[in-house]
Amino acid sequence: MHMVALFCVALLFSGCGQSYEFKGTAYDPPEAAAEIQGEIGNGESFRLSDLKGDVVVIFFGYTNCPDVCPLTLAEISKVYKQLGAETADLK
């Protein structure tokens, strides 16, 4: 019985944390991105200007990144799945 009460108290306090704090940078008004061109993973050429007007997410990682890159890609994948159908127009 004590374990159940302790669990309930712990659960109650876990909900008392601070609300989410935005950690990015808000550009208001938005700034135009510089031209980026290169090659994507499958060998195709890529130009950012070809996607003008679209919502674009770009992640710069590298294949020898042992910790931050895989964690960041996992977080991006998680958000992508949470957005569901809203990602239909995402490039």
pLDDT band (50, 70, 90) for residue 14: low
Give me the domain span that covers residue 44: 26-86
Confirm whether 80 is domain-assigned: yes
State CA 14 to chain mean position distance: 24
List, in order, residues 6 or more apart from 56 with CB less than 8 Å away: 48, 90, 91
**How many domains does the chain contain in total?**
1
Instruction: Give mean pLDDT, residues 48-62.
Output: 82
Confirm whether 44 is domain-assigned: yes
Confirm whether 7 is domain-assigned: no
Residue 4, pLDDT score: 59
Question: DSSP letter at 4?
Answer: H
Residue 7, pLDDT score: 56
Residue 42 predicted with pLDDT over 60: yes
pTM: predicted TM-score of the whole model, two decimal places? 0.45
pLDDT band (50, 70, 90) for residue 18: low
Confirm whether 42 is domain-assigned: yes
